[in-house]
């Protein structure tokens, strides 16, 4: 377990002392996080690091996961897509599946926390158990263009929470409860982001049969249509016409995403056994992800919708030039032509990648700027501070401090 003092060389002792001071004001409170998956996806990744660090600061923090079967997660995937603006048809049976599983979780899950912190739509109905404790709903997705019928259904539960948290200003909605802007973060000391010796990087490339004879373009993400892996292949093939390079598409599948296998098979079919396209279905191995990112010449994240995009912050932290779609929370991380390059299309992505491969000095400078931007804004120490201020605001609403 990482100790909070280990972050001092990265962020400075005053930052850590501020965290300790805030934690002392929350002593005795129990924070209970609830989500839908223990592994896979950004929420689980953040909680894996966040919960132990809260405990290390002296705030009792626990993490519970709701249960749901295949049908439930098929419905919640539809809800997820609809919140991102993708057309989905939810019928009466879909809503009944959602409600039936929610009723079981309401019965089975003990909401014991002084602060119950519910993440995303899957467990949102647990609010019906609210007693004299405080409840927060944390939205990790881009709801700026969500389908009204789906949003209204969730809003019926959301209005009973004490507060809601969104990742970017554009995601905020008209609600009768208080809202907070808190961006996600990465942990610089996690296996996915810590410094690695070159021999580990080389061993991972050797394991997957990836030569270092040409520049490597990499997208790390779940196999999800909203991450547009087919579009990444199209962009790469355009780049390949003038720049000899390799493409790595690597990632896993979230426990609560039933579409992952189907998308993975579509990607393999699209790649057509191209020897320079490496499609990797990774186990939950953060060191390997770290190594693949560090071996890359360019990191790409061509999402069509994105709540935040932790892989963007990961690439920037490693001082890699990043090309990413100008959607959702990505624009918080990339200031175009300063800390990376934003794109709006397959053609735009391929142009940006070629620009970076043709101008290594420019690519290096963007990477350096990106790392500094993440250091100042998107590390877990800032995230801890924001969450503790949020917790305090639940008990001292007259002293609300601006977050984010």
DSSP-derived secondary structure for 152-204 = HHHHHHHTTSSEEEESSGGG----SSEEEE----B-TTSTTTS---HHHHHHH
Instruction: Indicate the length of the chain as a whole number.
Output: 404
**Are 372 and 321 within 8 A, CB to CB?**
no
Pair 294, 203 in one domain: yes
Identify whether residues 252 and 232 lie together within a single domain.
Answer: yes
Ranges under pLDDT 50 in the chain: 401-404
Report the pLDDT value the prediction gives residue 1, as an integer from 0 to 100: 67
Domain count, the chain: 2
Same domain, 96 and 236: no
> Do both 140 and 254 map to the same domain?
no
Determine, yes or no, domain membership for 386: yes
3-state secondary structure at position 72? helix
Provide the 10 A C-beta neighbour count for residue 313: 28
Dihedral sign for Cα 304, 152, 185, 252, please.
negative
**Which pLDDT value is given to residue 402?**
47
Q: What is the pLDDT of residue 88?
A: 87
User: Do residues 219 and 365 both lie within one domain?
Assistant: yes
CATH number at residue 153: 3.40.50.2000
Residues 259 and 168 in one domain: no
Is 123 inside any structural domain? Answer: yes
- Whether 119 and 105 map to the same domain: the answer is yes
Q: Are residues 176 and 114 in the same domain?
A: yes
Tell me the β-bridge partners of 181: 166
**Residue 190 included in any domain:** no
Contacts for 118 with CB less than 8 Å, ≥ 6 apart: 34, 35, 124, 126, 127, 135, 136, 137, 138, 161
Domain membership of residue 205 (yes or no) is: yes
Closest CA to 342 of 364, 361, 327: 327
78 inside domain: yes
Largest Cα–Cα separation, the chain? 64
Q: What are phi and psi of 149, to 5 degrees?
A: -65, -40
- Same domain for 205 and 352, yes or no, is yes
The string of pLDDT tens digits covering residues 241-295 is 999 999 999 998 766 677 888 999 999 999 988 999 999 998 778 999 999 999 9
Q: Are residues 12 and 160 in the same domain?
A: yes
One domain for residues 156 and 272: no
Asked if residue 287 belongs to a domain, the reply is: yes
- The range of the structural domain enclosing residue 165 comes to 4-185+379-399
Do the Cβ atoms of 135 and 165 come closer than 8 Å? no
Q: Which runs of consecutive H residues, i.e. helices, occur in 171-296?
A: 198-207, 229-240, 260-271, 286-294
The reply to whether 165 and 207 lie within a common domain is no
Using a 10 angstrom Cβ sphere, with 0-12 exposed, 13-18 middle and 19 or more buried, the burial of residue 311 is buried
Residue 404 is predicted with a pLDDT of 41
């Amino acid at each position: 377990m990482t100790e909070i003092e280990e972050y001092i060389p990265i962020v400075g002792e005053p930052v850590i002392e501020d965290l300790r001071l805030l934690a002392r004001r929350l002593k005795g409170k129990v924070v209970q996080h609830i989500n839908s998956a223990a592994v896979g996806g950004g929420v689980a990744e953040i909680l894996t690091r966040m919960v132990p660090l809260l405990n290390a600061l002296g705030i009792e923090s626990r993490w519970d996961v709701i249960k749901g079967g295949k049908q439930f997660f098929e419905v919640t995937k539809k809800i997820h897509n609809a919140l991102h603006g993708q057309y989905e048809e939810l019928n009466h049976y879909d809503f009944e599946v959602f409600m039936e599983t929610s009723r079981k979780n309401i019965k089975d899950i003990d909401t014991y926390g002084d602060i119950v912190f519910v993440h995303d739509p899957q467990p949102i109905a647990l609010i019906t158990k609210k007693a004299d404790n405080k409840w927060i709903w944390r939205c990790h997705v881009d709801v700026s263009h969500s389908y009204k019928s789906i949003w209204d259904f969730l809003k019926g539960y959301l209005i009973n929470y004490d507060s809601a948290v969104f990742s970017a200003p554009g995601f905020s909605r008209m609600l009768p409860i208080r809202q907070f802007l808190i961006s996600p973060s990465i942990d610089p000391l996690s296996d996915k982001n810590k410094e690695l010796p070159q021999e580990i990087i080389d061993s991972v490339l050797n394991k997957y049969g990836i030569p270092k004879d040409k520049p490597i373009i990499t997208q790390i993400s779940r196999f999800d249509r909203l991450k547009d892996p087919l579009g990444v292949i199209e962009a790469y093939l355009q780049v390949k016409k003038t720049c000899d390079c390799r493409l790595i598409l690597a990632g896993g599948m979230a426990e609560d995403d039933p579409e992952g296998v189907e998308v993975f098979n579509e990607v393999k079919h699209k790649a057509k056994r191209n020897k320079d396209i490496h499609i990797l279905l990774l186990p939950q191995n953060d060191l390997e992800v770290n190594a693949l990112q560090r071996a890359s010449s360019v990191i790409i994240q061509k999402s069509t919708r994105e709540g935040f995009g932790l892989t963007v912050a990961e690439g920037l932290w490693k001082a890699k030039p990043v090309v990413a779609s100008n959607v959702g929370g990505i624009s918080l991380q990339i200031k175009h032509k300063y800390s990376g390059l934003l794109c709006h299309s397959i053609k735009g992505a391929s142009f940006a990648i070629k620009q970076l491969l043709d101008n290594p000095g420019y690519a290096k400078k963007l990477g350096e700027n990106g790392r500094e931007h993440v250091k100042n804004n998107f590390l877990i120490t800032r995230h801890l501070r924001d969450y503790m201020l949020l917790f305090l605001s639940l008990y001292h609403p007259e002293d609300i401090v601006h977050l984010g």
